[in-house]
Structure 1
Amino acid sequence: MSLQNLLKTLKTVKRSHRPNFSPTPKPYREITQIISKPLKPSSASKPLSATTTTFLSNLNPTTLLHVLTDPELKSSKCLRFFNFLLHNQSLLSFRPDLQAHLTLICRLLRERRFSDAEKTMKSDLVCQNPRYPFSVIASTVVNCCNDPKVIAKFFNSMLKVYSDCKLFDLVSQDFDYMKNNGIEIDERTCTVHLLALKSCDLLQLVLDFFYQMVESGIEVSVYSLTVVVDGLCWSGEVKRGRELVEEMIGRGIKPNIVTFNVMVNACAKRWNFEELDLVLLLMKKERVAFNDHTYKVLIDGFTSSGKVDAANKLVLEMHDKGLKVDTHLYNLIIDRYCRLGSMDGAMSMFGEMTDRSVFPNTDTYCALISGLCKAGEMGLAMAYVNMMQGKGMEPENVMFSMLIDGFCNKGMVAEAFEVQVLMEKKGFATDLTVCDKIVSGLCKLNRFEEAKRLLNVMVKRGATPEIASFTMPFDI
């Protein structure tokens, strides 16, 4: 017999000895019909077919697990089918158990459908009151999956879900379980938990969990350290934050500029300059250079506390380092010089600003003009008003009021009245107390007609004749 005839004979024998059975049909048609409908079918919807109803009534836990793990059925369809079963349990002869839930969740995680997996955990396993104790979940999930990477993702996802639901005791149980069983802990998930604790103002729990992270041996990032330092500084524990940073440096966790800026900002806002010096010294020791944000928070803190010369030096330092100095920073310093009555310093800073091609805005001129008006330098104040108008910026209500008040205080009532008239033409209402000063001054200058017109304006705005009449020698 030839080789070809031998092979042909063997194939015929193999076919004749095959067992005579038909494979178990896949329930795709029935499942497809189910998941194509809403989770809670309305009375107007088409009822399920008899085949599908029979399929559901004959469904059991073992069959359900086969469906959920069938590689030929997409995980998205498995999820929709499972959700349908949970919402229509009257159609079943059993209640899907924990193993079914975990089997589906592990499959979603294996296929990197992390959002769906976490939503399923939250709705089916946690809810408002945890349906299953953590110990039961932990002992069951290992029977549903033997992939170490999926198991690790499962417990890290559970930690995040517990944290989102503010079940912080369960977070600790989950973390301890992973640590004790050699399951890889995701540092980023732990950081999310630190943020959740911080948002609830649970500062001691933040510190406790952070130290758990450090002691567990996972590689703690500077971001996690910064979250904890920010929580301490926000609560006023700036010194404690700095000491934590120093401790972590000894453990190999290096702070970055963001970490330092958190501490610098806390010190500057609280005018805690003694602690600020220690933070800046630590920055220098760790060779972490200032960035533009560091300068901004320092300048803000120095100007608000009256340390204007120190703020001025920082601006010059920014220029030397090629950092951008915006108008707002100059305004802070100019405004503080003006409030302190140091108009020479304010105008010098204004000159520095224009020399550096940093353009002043309305706030810049408002600060300068306010300071000059208080100092009685009305000629210079009007010069800056003209300069401002020459650049296309017009005075507003507040600035007009400052000018009028300044002129009145200098006894320059005629000039105050001219500004008041201009102010009214531009649609701004003069403050009644300021008007009263002008009326009184006009009367002293025997300019009664002008005083009378202004008094009429005051009356229309609500001032009673009794209030203002003492300034006038005639009836309104």
Structure 2
Amino acid sequence: MSPDLVLRFYKKVEEQKSFLPSLECVCVLVHVMVGCKRYDDVLGLMDKLLRKMGFSHLEVLDGLWDCYDGEVSCGGVFDALVRACNLSGNGKCGYEVIMKLRTEKGFSVSVHAWNNYLNRVLKSGEVSCFWQRYEEMISYGYVENVYTLNLVIYALCKEMRLYEAISVFYRMLKSGIYPNVVTFNMIIDGACKMGDVSLGLKLFRNMGIMSMGFVMPNSVTFNCLVNGYCKLGDMKTAESLRDEMTVGVEVNVRTYATLVDGYLRKGCTKEAFKLCSDMVDRGLVPNIVVYNSLIHWLYFEGDTTTASVLLSYMIKTNICFDKFTNSILVKGLSRNGYLKEALDYHKWLAGENLVDKDGFLENILIYYLFRSDNESVSKVKQFIDDMFDRGLNPDTVTYGTMIDAFSKQGSISHAVRVYDDMIKMGKKPNLVIYNSIVDGLSKNLSVDVAKIMVDELKKLGLLDAVTLNSLLNGYCANWKVNEALNLFLQMQEDEAKELMEMMVAQGLTPDSITYTTLLTNACKKSSAEEVVALHDDMVVKGVTPDSQTYDDIVGPLIGKESFDL
């Protein structure tokens, strides 16, 4: 009944070298700490059990269950275990805890534990898994709270389903669940990322009204909008929002970093450096993000001298490079003709064990090595051998870069050989790689082989406009006029169908005008069967046909004289 005394006693005894706490001992202490809401101590104890003492999450669950005491325990101890599993980086363990409690113990964790687990799933980028688990949670009868619905909105925005996210927002209001500033920030950020900054600004201006005065914008809200306008190149509005922030909301380094990057994207280097001076005048210190933006765009514009001065200043003032700085430096040197220096820098990084195992820097260098000189193939081979020596295997991007380079050089046999090696290594080709091969075949008098490959890709559902354009260029280059025309007409027809599917997916109902437009164009370049199929598809999707269009185009094709609305 004295939590402080229990914890002090435990820590005192723990200092004895001969003392090794048991699972039961620590689990009892966890129950006591949860009871008095000392959650930092709880997470520390669970981390000790999971990491230092080597118990599995299910063993810890059994230990906590066996020590459950109605007088000092509460169900929050199992919520805490789910959170500890998520913090350890393994969301799957958290889910296993939830399900074992439900199926074997007959105990349900709170909605907070589910929220914590679902948040972990989203942070891992597993959006499809999120939807599956979310629906599972709802099926168990849990009542959503603002944090649950915020996660739903975040997932929808991540999938660019902005209007569905807004509908969830209105569902919150109807359910009496008040949105918080995070809710607004996610929707505003989603609108800005989709390019609809005006919608984001409208939501921003109405935050107070829509939340009945409970929510006001914070620095994150402003930064989302500033970023949106910077991406559009509207620096005047972005700056005015920054000025508006100064009244009641703190302008932070991120705000300036966004504005600096916005000016640099427009090629306004002078204005970007002026903003850096303004930052310092306000007592804000430019961080690595600001320096990375400056160096990246300086290299992009070919100003290697100023970029080198900035890099020297960073070293002199002990501003540590991060992985983005390294990639910017390697790519910047390579694209400006300093490939040897880039390779030397990479070699130094590798020697200091500062190169990530993701192969990102290596892929940049392989790309530029292929474009260096006549001995590029041998240099790439040596570079890849060095990668293997360091225990780094080529990934899909590496193989794709090599295939694309060989295809562009006309060395199709080499490209196919690399493709075969890729398959042997268990790497799965993506559409970009297939497009490189189709393009290479089409440009090197092998357009018939390219057509066979395109047909196979079509069966797999792996076609896009790039694939078909490559084949179209191949037909034109080989004077296969009829094939080129047929493919062009097919592409136009597919584009019409895709447009209608896109309308339906985004909640826009095709109408009689859509019907008339698509059918009028289709009848000029498609067969009778295809025109009728397009008509049927639109009717199934709820389109009311225009009687005049039907009578003039569809009716004669199917042997009917008129269509009665």
Normalised by the length of structure 1, the TM-score is 0.41
Larger Rg over CA atoms: 1
Normalised by the length of structure 2, the TM-score is 0.36
